[in-house]
Amino acid sequence: MIVSWQSSDSSKANILARGNFSLDASGMVNLLLALAAVSLLLAGLLTLQGYWPILLIAGVQLVLVCWILIRAWEQAWVSEVIEITEDKIRVTHQRHKQKRLYEFETAWAVIEWKQPEVAWYEPRMQLRSRAQVVELGSFLTGSEKHQLAKCLQSAVEKHSAMKGAIIS
């Protein structure tokens, strides 16, 4: 999801990029509880009939599925806030509880597209200013990356010395 807005005097632009994941924390807990209840109920019924290894297998399967879903949920709550002013671009990348801040000079900002080594992967979008480089939107789909690039390009090109520079 890409959301962009500008200050009233158009001197500052902000772009928010977030991953798409519809479950909040309580929804995830409810999903995991329902999954555990169904799996353990079925395994318990089979255990009562003498198939006791099923309960062990169901427990291992439940732990593995819960771990995978929790990891996917954590990875989906990623956001990037890009603030563009006349002289600075600030990129705040937040993943779970970790925050990283990058600062670039707007005058030298260039958006680059890097083609992947594997053909079916999406191209990577990078923001470069002089020697500094950061990948943007690694968690976004291909169409969302292009939307982010358009928003970023229109906000940067007002202040950039590299007018219209999108490099493939």
pLDDT per residue over 5-48, tens digit each?
887 777 788 999 987 777 777 888 899 999 999 999 999 999 99
Q: What predicted TM-score, i.e. pTM, was given to this entire model?
A: 0.70
pLDDT number for residue 163: 59
Q: What are phi and psi of 109, to 5 degrees?
A: -75, 135
What is the rounded CA–CA span in Å between residue 63 and residue 4? 40
- Specify whether the CB–CB gap between 73 and 21 falls below 8 A: yes
On whether both 85 and 138 belong to a single domain, the answer is yes
Using CA atoms, how far apart are residues 60 and 40, in angstroms rounded to an integer? 11
Asked whether the beta carbons of 157 and 163 are under 8 A apart, the reply is: yes
Compute CA 164 distance to the chain's CA centroid, rounded to the nearest angstrom: 26
Q: Is the pLDDT of residue 167 over 80?
A: no
Domain end position, chosen among 75, 90, 113: 75
116 lies in the same domain as 163: yes
Q: Which CATH number belongs to the domain containing residue 13 in this structure?
A: 2.30.29
pLDDT value at residue 76:
73
The pLDDT of residue 77 is 77
Q: How many CB atoms lie within 10 A of CB 131?
A: 6
Q: Provide the pLDDT for residue 139.
A: 84
Residues 10 and 50 in one domain: no
Q: How many CB atoms lie within 10 A of CB 77?
A: 16
Angstrom distance (rounded) from CA 48 to CA 31:
26
The DSSP call for residue 123 is P
Q: Which one is predicted more confidently, 165 or 14? A: 14
Q: Is 55 in the same domain as 134?
A: no
Is a pLDDT exceeding 70 seen at residue 166?
no
Phi, psi torsion values for 86, nearest 5 degrees? -60, -35
* pLDDT per residue as tens digits for the range 97-107: 789 999 998 88
Tell me, yes or no, whether 62 and 141 share the same domain: no
Are residues 67 and 137 located together in one domain of the fold?
no
Domain region containing 44: 25-75
Same-domain check for residues 99 and 161 = yes
How much is the mean pLDDT over the chain? 86
In this prediction, residue 65 has a pLDDT band, given cuts at 50, 70 and 90, of: very high
Do 104 and 29 reside in the same domain of the chain?
A: no
Q: Is the pLDDT of residue 57 over 90?
A: yes
**75 HSE (CA, 13 A, CB side):** 9
Which tokens in the block code for residue 119? 């053909």
Judgement on whether residues 29 and 69 belong to the same structural domain of the protein: yes
Domain count, the chain: 2
Domain boundary among 60, 75, 90: 75
46 with 101, same domain: the answer is no
Look at residue 165 and tell me whether its pLDDT is greater than 60. Answer: no
Q: Check whether residue 57 and residue 129 sit in a common domain.
A: no
Same domain assignment for residues 147 and 82: yes
- Any residues with CB less than 8 A from the CB of 129 and at least 6 apart, and which? 89, 104, 105, 106, 108, 109, 110
For position 24, what pLDDT does the model report? 79
